[in-house]
Amino acid sequence: MQTVRLRRPGGLDHLDIIEEAPPGAPGPGEIRVRLHASSLNFHDYLVVSGKSTIDDGRIPMSDGAGVVEAVGDGVTAFVPGDSVVSCFFPEWQDGAPLCADFSATPGDGIDGYAREAVVTPASWFTKAPRGWSHEESATLTTAGLTAWRALVVDGGIQAGNSVLVLGTGGVSIFALQLAKAMGATVVATSSSDEKLARLTELGADYVINYKTHEDWGRRVRDWTGGRGVDHVVEVGGPGTLAQSIKATRIGGHIALIGVLTGASGEVPTADLMRRQQRLQGLIVGSAQHQRDMVRALDATGLRPVIDRSFPLTDISAAFRHQESGKHFGKITLTI
Ligand SMILES: NC(=O)c1ccc[n+]([C@@H]2O[C@H](COP(=O)([O-])OP(=O)(O)OC[C@H]3O[C@@H](n4cnc5c(N)ncnc54)[C@H](OP(=O)(O)O)[C@@H]3O)[C@@H](O)[C@H]2O)c1
């Protein structure tokens, strides 16, 4: 079977595509999945570009979607033919967060899904939404579940709430779509006027170019009549947090998800305290969160925005496309 392995020192020229023996039959409690798709995240980019320290020969990609081919003894959650999607933290099934690193995450600390087939414990996958393509389902493991947790699990979003999303990457577009599906109003930002027009088409109620309007936080607050938004899905980190705090209402919720502008920096802590906001860091979610999200997606009819799909053999080109920043929503791999 075709497999991608990342060779030290990493980098897009060190993604080797090789033929390997397929996995055997699943043992007790295991399933064998024929993988059909994966999707690219900023996290996968950090892995393959050599910016994280990874074992030589690691199979990249945290997201995997496909079809169950066989089930081992004792497996009751799936039958052969089920469409499934992988979990970002396979060991975190339910309850409070367990992990503060990526040592057990496929495509980082352990082998991921840039391959044609895999045998894993059945609990490492959940069912995919009904009628979705494998490419669509593969967008859920990381980007979809992160947006879900930010707004629904941690944010407790309600109809009539207002939401700010930053930029047009995978997590932010999902957050926009989920917020609209749940009856919220949404303000969205981008560095590109062309992408702003697409955000409006997708349902954003108000859009701002964050490059030409450095005071976007005040503009967001003005748009809410001076109150501020209820929720922010914060993907920027130190370079955007001050404006996000400005944009958020007193007592509002900021889900700190990404660090696109850097790993550390200055935060206006006095503003955060005065405005009595809740700043919550998070990494993706549990298998139970994923099952809840899939049920909600089945009910809402929401479908992810796929910018472009590449064959697995063009994985380097797919990451170069992500690196260019031209994408809007998700980039996927077809396996
Ligand atoms: N904590 C978690 O669980 C979790 C999960 C997924 C992702 N993340 C993090 O979230 C961030 C986004 O991930 P992703 O996979 O969605 O990335 P992505 O698809 O590669 O999206 C990147 C987009 O972010 C926007 N952006 C870049 N700099 C920005 C800035 N200063 N202000 C506002 N927007 C900016 C750009 O949008 P425009 O082109 O429209 O300007 C860019 O296209 C990354 O830091 C990633 O590590 C965290």
Q: What percent of the chain has pLDDT over 70?
A: 100
CA of 70 to the centre of ligand 1 (A): 37
Report, as an integer, the average pLDDT of 96-105.
Answer: 94
Mean pLDDT over all residues of the chain?
A: 97
Ligand 1 site, residue 126, Cβ cutoff 6 A: no
Ligand 1 site, residue 146, Cβ cutoff 6 A: yes
Residue 51 has pLDDT above 90, yes or no: no
Distance CA 210, CA 188 (A): 10
Q: How confident is the model at residue 54 (pLDDT cuts 50, 70, 90)?
A: confident
Ligand 1 site, residue 52, Cβ cutoff 6 A: no
CA of 319 to the centre of ligand 1 (A): 14
Distance CA 82, CA 84 (A): 6
Q: Which atom of ligand 1 is nearest to the CA of 149?
A: 3
3-class secondary structure, 224: coil
Q: Which residue's structure tokens are 């914060």?
A: 234
Specify the pLDDT at position 52: 80
Minimal-distance CA residue to ligand 1 atom 36: 167
Q: Which residue's structure tokens are 């039959």?
A: 25
List, in sequence order, every beta strand (DSSP E) within the chain.
2-6, 15-19, 30-39, 65-71, 83-86, 117-121, 125-127, 162-166, 185-190, 206-209, 229-234, 248-256, 278-281, 306-311, 330-334
pLDDT digit string (tens) for 211-242?
Answer: 999 999 999 999 999 999 999 999 999 999 99
Q: Which atom of ligand 1 is nearest to the CA of 40?
A: 15
Q: Which atom of ligand 1 is nearest to the CA of 170?
A: 16
Ligand 1 site, residue 269, Cβ cutoff 6 A: no
List, in sequence order, every beta strand (DSSP E) within 128-191.
162-166, 185-190
Specify the pLDDT at position 50: 87
pLDDT digit string (tens) for 120-154?
Answer: 999 999 999 999 999 999 999 999 999 999 999 99
CA of 262 to the centre of ligand 1 (A): 11
Distance CA 179, CA 166 (A): 13
pLDDT digit string (tens) for 300-334?
Answer: 999 999 999 999 999 999 999 999 999 999 999 99
